[in-house]
Amino acid sequence: MAMTGVLRPGHAQIRVMDMDEAIHHYRDVLGLIEAGTDKQGRVYLRAWDERDHHSLILRKADRAGIDFFAFKVANAETLKKLDSDLRAYGVKTEKIPAGELLETGERIRFEIASGHQIELYAEKAKIFAPHQLLNPEAWSPQQDKGIAPLRLDHCLLYGPDIEKVQKLFEEVLGFFLVEHIEIEPGNDLAIWLSTSTKAHDIAFVRHPEPGKLHHISFLLDSWEKVLRAADIMSVSRVSIDIGPTRHGVTRGTTIYAFDPSGNRFETFSGGNYGYPDWEPIKWTMDEVGAAVFYHDRKLNEAFLSVVS
Amino acid sequence: MAMTGVLRPGHAQIRVMDMDEAIHHYRDVLGLIEAGTDKQGRVYLRAWDERDHHSLILRKADRAGIDFFAFKVANAETLKKLDSDLRAYGVKTEKIPAGELLETGERIRFEIASGHQIELYAEKAKIFAPHQLLNPEAWSPQQDKGIAPLRLDHCLLYGPDIEKVQKLFEEVLGFFLVEHIEIEPGNDLAIWLSTSTKAHDIAFVRHPEPGKLHHISFLLDSWEKVLRAADIMSVSRVSIDIGPTRHGVTRGTTIYAFDPSGNRFETFSGGNYGYPDWEPIKWTMDEVGAAVFYHDRKLNEAFLSVVS
Amino acid sequence: MAMTGVLRPGHAQIRVMDMDEAIHHYRDVLGLIEAGTDKQGRVYLRAWDERDHHSLILRKADRAGIDFFAFKVANAETLKKLDSDLRAYGVKTEKIPAGELLETGERIRFEIASGHQIELYAEKAKIFAPHQLLNPEAWSPQQDKGIAPLRLDHCLLYGPDIEKVQKLFEEVLGFFLVEHIEIEPGNDLAIWLSTSTKAHDIAFVRHPEPGKLHHISFLLDSWEKVLRAADIMSVSRVSIDIGPTRHGVTRGTTIYAFDPSGNRFETFSGGNYGYPDWEPIKWTMDEVGAAVFYHDRKLNEAFLSVVS
Amino acid sequence: MAMTGVLRPGHAQIRVMDMDEAIHHYRDVLGLIEAGTDKQGRVYLRAWDERDHHSLILRKADRAGIDFFAFKVANAETLKKLDSDLRAYGVKTEKIPAGELLETGERIRFEIASGHQIELYAEKAKIFAPHQLLNPEAWSPQQDKGIAPLRLDHCLLYGPDIEKVQKLFEEVLGFFLVEHIEIEPGNDLAIWLSTSTKAHDIAFVRHPEPGKLHHISFLLDSWEKVLRAADIMSVSRVSIDIGPTRHGVTRGTTIYAFDPSGNRFETFSGGNYGYPDWEPIKWTMDEVGAAVFYHDRKLNEAFLSVVS
C-alpha cells in the first residue's frame, strides 16, 4: 500500500474556560458542526467536509491549552503494530478503552519529549451521509455557515527537545520532515512534519515550557475564503493575531486568531505539498521573519511568546 | 512509513505530430520549462514547482496519443519489490535501462489490461535549485510565464477491462479507489485511483479501443488561475473542449483543451482529497452528466468520443 | 455636477408564469430580498447591497418577457427637464402617478424604437438600514443567502432600429457608447451604452421582433462568486445557458441562465469601465464569437435565438 | 449628459530622491509602462489599462511628496467654465501652457485649503493601441509584468481645513461625499469624495501640516491580485506598511507600502461604489480603527503619522 500506517490528524481535545462561549465560537463563528456531548460534558465538533464523527473536542477547564492530539491509523493491525513499535522504541504507551470518546475505538496514548500527549486510533464512526457518497452535490448551504473550514488540518505545538520528537515521528510513526527553521546545524527552532502529501500534519517549535499549544489549524478552500474568514472574525469581534497574510514556510495563506479562552487557531489555505523523497526546505534565522510571515518579513511579538 | 511504495505520477511521454508547434504549445502557452532534448529528438519539460528533472516527454510521431505513463516509487528497494510483485501477479515486466530517458534511472515497464504502458522508476535527477531549498521566495516571475501549472497531476486513460486495471492498481501497486461511475453493480464506466491523499493519481474510462489517452492534467493554484488559463488559451487560439467549469467527480474546477496534435490536456484546480479508509464515492449513470460536468449536468459530445 | 441627469438602472418589471416558482427562484436561489407585494399581486425584490426599495418587480402573466426597464434620475427637476427634452425630441411620454409602484414617485414612461418601454423616475424610498450608514460591517450573513448579487446591474434588450435607440440615449438621455459589434460601418449588431463609469447600463441587439428581453443582469463580487453561483444553480437545477465564462465585450465574467418562466438572467463580475471621452471599442463580425464568449470564440445557438 | 464636468483622476506628480530607484520601483516592481522623459528629466508612466499618455510623473527632488494631483475634465469648454467658476468662487487659478507636461494640453492649477496643488485639464494624447480598440484580447502578457495595476485610482492627501476643501469640491467641481469619519458633528477627521460612481476619486485627512501626501492608489483586479502584489513586494523587498487587509471605509481590500523615497502607495481592489443621491456613510471615532483597517479594528501607528 502506498498510504499506510498513520493516515491523518484525527482529533484535538482542547481546554476552554467557558463552554457556552466556546460553542458559540467553534459552531457559530467558525462554523463547525456539533456532533455530540458526552457524560463528562465534553462537546464534539467536526468540519463539514470531514467523514469521521468528530475532529475537535472541547473540555471545560480553568486554563486554556491542548489535552491531546490524535492521529487516525490505517486499521486495527496497524494500531497494534505501532503500539508495539513505540514500546520497543522505549515509549510508554497507555490504552484508552473504546468509547471513552464518543464513537471512537481504542486509543493508544503516549507522551512525547516536548511534553505533549499524542494518540493513535484505528476506529471512529463514519458520519458521511449516504447522499454525500452517492451522486454528491458540489455545494450545500453548510459550506457557507460561518467560516466553514473543510477539515481540521494540523496543529503547531511548543515544547522542548523537538529533535527527539522529530526522531520519534520519523523512525517510529513514518512521518518525514518537509521544512525546518535552523538555529544552527543540528539545532532547529521549528520543524514541519508530514505523514502524507500535505505540507504538514503536525509541527513543533522549540520552547522551554513543555506541552504548550501554539495553534490548531483549519483548512479553507481559497484565499478568498481566507478574506471571508477575516471579515467574519471582525464582525464577530474575534481577536485576530495576524493576517490575512502568507507563510513563507509551506507558502500557505493564513490568519491566526484566538478563541474566547485564548487558544490560538488558524484558518489557512493553499500551500505546498510534500513527498518523502524530497529534500526538506531549510530556513535560517536571518530569514525567520519571512519564513513565518512572508509579507512582513518579520515576526510579530505574539508569535514566539503567546501560547496556551 | 506512512507514504510508501508508489509515490506519485512521474512522467508521461506523449506523441506529437509537429515538434515545433508542440514546443510552442507546452513551453510558451502552457508555460512548462524546457529541460532537455535527447539523441532521439525527444523534448523534455517540467512544471515550475516540480523538483524532478522532467514530467513530460514529447516524441514526434505520425499520430497523437500516449506512449507510457510513469510513477515515481519511494526507492530502489521498492522498485525491485514491485517488479517482483508484478511478476508474481502474472504481469510481464520489462527493464528499461537507466539513461534511456534523460537523467532517469532504470524503469520497469508493463502493459495493463486497458492496453496502456505503465512504468515505475526510483531515480530521477533532482533539479530544485539551491535557492528553492534555502529560504525560498513564495513568488517568482516563472509563475506567470504562460499558464504555468504547478505540476503534472494525473492522466485519464481510455481502454477495455478497467476492472482488471483497478484490481492490479489496488492489489499490487497500493492504490485505492476514490470515486467511480457505475453502469451497474460490478461494472464501472470510470474509476479514479489514488496512491496518496490526492483525489486521483490516475483514472480510467471503459472504452473498446485499447491504449487511448483522454487527457493529461496539470494542476493550477486557484479558480482564478483557471480563468487566466482560459484567457491565455483564447489569446493563443488553443482549442478549448469545455470549461472553465467544475467536475462533479473530485469537485475540481477544470478546462479541457487540445494541443496542436489533438492530445487533450486539462488545467484544473482544487477538488477533493482522499484516504484509503474512506468509502469511495459512487456516481450512477442517471447522474453521469453532473459527475463529469457539474454545472451543465450533461456530457458534451466530445467527452466519450474524442480520444488520442 | 459631475454625475448628473440619468444616474443608474432603477428597476425592471418582468413577466413570470408561475409566481411561487418565480419567488423561489429570485428570493431563495438568486438570494434577492423580498421587499413587498402590491394590490395587483406584483412582487418586489432588491439585492442586498442596493439602497432603494426595490430593483426587480415580478408580474404574473401568460408569457415571459419584460414590461419595462427604468432609470433613476438625479432629482425631480432633472425628471421634469428630461420629460420636456424627450417631448421636444418627438418622443411621446406618459406620466405614471406616484404610488403606482410601491414606494416609488412619479414615473415618465416612453417607448423606444426597439419596441421597449423605458421609464425615468426621481424618487424611491431609501431602505438602507441605519446600521448600514453608520459604522457599517463589511460582511453580513445576507451576503451568503443564495447567489446574493450586489445589485441589478443592466439589461440586454432585443429589437429593431437600434441606431435610433442609440441616438435617443446619447442625445437626450446623456448615455455614451462603450462598445459595439459592427455588421458594417453604420450598421451595428449590438451596442453597449453607459450613463456612468460602468461598462454598460443598458445594451441592445438588433433583432426583427420588437420589445424582447435577452437578459437582466446581476453583479457579483468576484470570479469565485461566479463559480459559487454556477454551483448553486446546479444544486438548484437552474437551467444554465452558458458559463462560467468571460465576455470579450466588457471583459466581464459571466453565467447566462434561465428563470423558471424562461427569462434569461446573468450573474456577472468584473469587466471594464468607461468614460464619455473614450473612443468606443469596436468588434467586427468575424470576431463576434470572441466578442460574446471570449473563451469559446463562437456563439452558442441560444445567444441569437432565445429571447423572451 | 450624465457624466459631465470633472471625469477622473488624470495624473499625479510625485517627488522621488533617486530616479533610478524610483523607475525600478514603478516600472519593474509595480509594473507601470514607461511613457517618456521630458527635458526637465521628469519620467512619465501609465498603467496597462489606461488610455491616456500617462498618469504618474516622477520628479527628482531632495524630499518625497506630491507636487500636484490632476483631474481630466470632459472637454475644453468644461475646462474654461470650471476655471471661471473657480475664480468666481474666489480661488486663484494659474494656467500652465499646453506641452509643459508631455502630450498634455493646457492645465488650470490652483491651491486648495489643505495646501495641495490641484490641476484640471481637458486634453492628453490617447495612447490606446488600435488593436485594443478593435476586437481586443482580454489578456496580454503586459497584465502580468510586475504588480500590474489597471489604473491610477485616487489619492489620499493630508492637510488642514478639509471642510473648506469639501465645500470647494462639492460646490464648484461637482464631487459628492461618499464616506466620512466624524470627530464630532461638523468636524470630520477624513472625507472620501467621488466625481463618478467610484467609491472615491480623492480623499482627505485633517492634519496640521499642509500639502502632505498619505498615498496614491492603484487599482487591481481582484483580492488574488492583492495577494500577488504582496508576494511581489516581499520578493522585491518593498517595505509594506500594512496588508493585505480590508478597509471598513469603501470595503476595498488593500496593501499600503512605500516607494524607495518613502512615498506611500496603495494597491487595492474591490470596494463600494457611490451615487450622488445616496446618503454618505458615517464613521465615528470609536470605530475609526474598523473604518481604516477592518480586520484589525485598530489603526497602526503609521497611519496618522507617516506622510510625505
pLDDT digits (tens, 9 = 90+) for B107-150: 999 999 999 999 999 999 998 777 789 999 999 999 999 999 99
Q: Between D24 and B3, whose confidence is greater?
A: D24
B247 annotated active-site? yes
> What single letter denotes the amino acid at residue A109?
R
Radius of gyration of chain C (CA): 18
Say yes or no for a CB contact (<8 Å) between C276 and D3: yes
Burial class (CB in 10 A: 0-12, 13-18, 19+), C294: buried
Distances in Å between the alpha carbon of D106 and those of C38, D54, D103, D154? 56, 15, 10, 22
Structure confidence at residue C191 as a pLDDT band (50, 70, 90): very high
Chain C nearest-CA distance from A138, in A, is 7
- Active-site residues of A, by number, are 154, 200, 215, 247, 256, 266
CA D169 to chain centroid, in Å, comes to 15
Would residue B25 show up in a list of annotated catalytic residues for this protein?
no
Q: Does B247 touch chain C (CB under 8 A)?
A: no
- The separation between the first and the last C-alpha atoms of chain A, rounded to the nearest angstrom, is 38
**Residue of D207, D302, D263 lying closest to D15 (CA atoms):** D263
Q: Per CATH, which fold does B150-305 belong to?
A: 2,3-Dihydroxybiphenyl 1,2-Dioxygenase; domain 1 (3.10.180)
Give the pLDDT of residue A64: 98
Residues 98-137 of chain A whose Cβ lies under 8 A from any Cβ of chain C: 137
CA-derived radius of gyration, chain B:
18
Nearest CA in chain C to B222: C224
Mean pLDDT, rounded, for B253-263: 98
In chain C, which residues have their Cβ closer than 8 Å to the Cβ of A235? 137-140
Q: What is the pLDDT of residues B204-245, one digit of tens each?
A: 999 999 999 999 999 999 999 999 999 999 999 999 999 999
A154 sits in which H/E element: strand A151-159
A115: left (phi over 0), alpha (psi -120 to 50) or beta: left
Chains B & C: contacts with CB separation below 8 Å: 45
User: For the domain bounded by A6-143, which CATH number is listed?
Assistant: 3.10.180.10
Indicate where chain D has its CATH 3.10.180.10 domain(s): 6-143, 150-305
Cell (9 digits) for C259: 428563470
**What's the pLDDT at D271?**
86
Catalytic residue IDs of D: 154, 200, 215, 247, 256, 266
Q: Which residues contact B211 (CB under 8 A, 6 or more apart)?
A: B65, B66, B114, B115, B116, B117, B157, B159
Neighbouring C-beta atoms of residue A305, cutoff 10 Å: 9
Whether the per-residue pLDDT at A281 is higher than 70: the answer is yes
Q: Is the pLDDT score of A129 beyond 80? A: no
Which has the closest alpha carbon to D222: A268, C227, C154?
A: C227
* D213-229: average pLDDT: 98
At residue C301 the predicted structure's pLDDT band, cuts being 50, 70 and 90, is confident
pLDDT at D186: 93
For residue B264, give the C-alpha cell: 487533450
Per-residue pLDDT of C32-48, as tens digits, reads 999 999 999 999 999 99
Asked if A48 contacts A150 with a C-beta cutoff of 8 angstroms, the reply is yes
- What is the arithmetic mean of pLDDT over D266-279? 94
Q: What b/e string do you get for D162-175 counting C-beta neighbours within 10 Å, with b at 16 or more?
A: beebbebbbebbbb
Grouping H, G, I as helix, E, B as strand and the rest as coil, residue C252 is coil
Exposure letters A180-207 (e unless 16+ CB within 10 A, then b) = bbbeeeeebbbbbbbbbbbbbbbbbbbb
CA distance A19 to chain B (A): 32
Nearest chain C CA: its distance from D75 CA (Å)? 8
- Whole-angstrom distance, CA of residue C144 vs CA of residue C147: 7
Residue D69 and residue A137: Cα distance in Å, rounded?
53
Neighbours of C184 (CB within 10 A): 9
Q: What is the pLDDT of residue C1?
A: 61
Chains near D, with 3+ CB pairs < 8 A? A, B, C
pLDDT at C81: 98
Amino acid at position D282, single letter: K
Neighbours of chain B (3+ CB pairs under 8 A): A, C, D
Check CB contact under 8 Å for B235 and D144. Answer: no
CB of A198 within 8 Å of any CB in chain C?
no
Is the CB of residue A191 less than 8 Å from the CB of residue A144?
no
On average, the pLDDT of chain B sits at 96
Selection from A198, A212, A219, A272 nearest residue A6 by Cα: A198
- Taking the Cβ of residue C139 and every Cβ of chain A, the question of whether any pair is shorter than 8 Å is answered with yes
Chain-chain contact of D246 with A230 (C-beta, under 8 angstroms): yes
Strands, sheet with B202-206, edge to edge from the N-terminal-most edge strand: B239-246, B253-258, B264-269, B212-220, B151-159, B202-206, B187-194, B176-184, B281-284
Cis peptide before C260 (omega within 30 of 0): no
Nearest CB partner across the interface for D290, out of A234, A243, A297: A234
d(CA A227, CA A234): 11
Q: Is the pTM of this model over 0.95?
A: yes
Buried b (16+ CB within 10 A) or exposed e, A105-139: bbbbbbbbbbbbbbbbbbbbeeeeeeebbebbbbb
Catalytic residue among C53, C154, C180, C207: C154
Alpha carbons A74 and D263: distance in angstroms, whole number: 57
ipTM of the assembly? 0.96
Hey, CA dihedral for B44, B46, B52, B56, is it positive or negative?
Answer: negative
Cβ-Cβ contacts under 8 Å for D149 (sequence gap 6 or more): D30, D31, D32, D47, D218, D219, D220, D267
CA atoms of D247 and D203, how far apart (whole Å): 14
* Cα separation, A100 vs B216, whole angstroms: 47
Mutating which of D1, D81, D82 best tests the C interface, going by the most C Cβ atoms within 10 A? Answer: D1
Sign of the dihedral defined by the CA atoms of residues A33, A36, A42, A44, in that order: negative
Q: Which pLDDT tens digit goes with each residue over C76-101?
A: 999 999 999 999 999 999 999 999 99
Assess D232–B contact: CB distance below 8 Å, yes or no. yes
- Over range A177-204, report the average pLDDT: 96
User: Residues D137, B234: contact at Cβ < 8 Å?
Assistant: yes
Cβ-based neighbours of A127, under 8 Å, separated by 6 or more = A35, A46, A51, A52, A53
The neighbours of chain C, by the rule of 3 or more Cβ pairs under 8 Å, are A, B, D
Instruction: Report the residue of chain D nearest A234, measured CA to CA.
Output: D295
Amino acid at B212: K
Residue of B133, B72, B196, B269 lying closest to A194 (CA atoms)? B196
- Is residue C154 part of the annotated active site? The answer reads yes
* Contact residues, chain D, for A243 at CB < 8 Å: 295
Q: Does C5 touch chain D (CB under 8 A)?
A: yes
Q: Is D240 on the interface with C (CB under 8 A)?
A: no
Tens digit of pLDDT for each residue in D127-182? Answer: 877 778 999 999 999 999 999 999 999 999 999 999 999 999 999 999 999 999 99
**A1 pLDDT more than 70:** no
Top residue of A1, A3, A196 to mutate, by most chain B CBs within 10 Å, is A3
Using pLDDT thresholds of 50, 70 and 90, give the confidence band for residue D1.
Answer: low
The pLDDT score that the predictor gives to residue B301 is 82
- Beta bridge partners, C15, equal C59, C65
Q: C45 pairs with which residues across the strands? A: C34, C56
Q: How far is CA B5 from the centre of its chain?
A: 18
Say if the Cβ atoms of C278 and D51 lie within 8 Å. yes
C-alpha–C-alpha distance, residues D50 and B295, integer Å: 35
Interface with C, mutate which of A132, A144, A240 (most C CBs under 10 A)? A144
Cα separation, A112 vs C288, in Å, equals: 67
Closest Cβ–Cβ partner in A233, A244, A297 for D244 = A244
Q: Contact at 8 Å (CB) between C144 and C42?
A: no
Residue B186 cell numbers, joined: 460490478
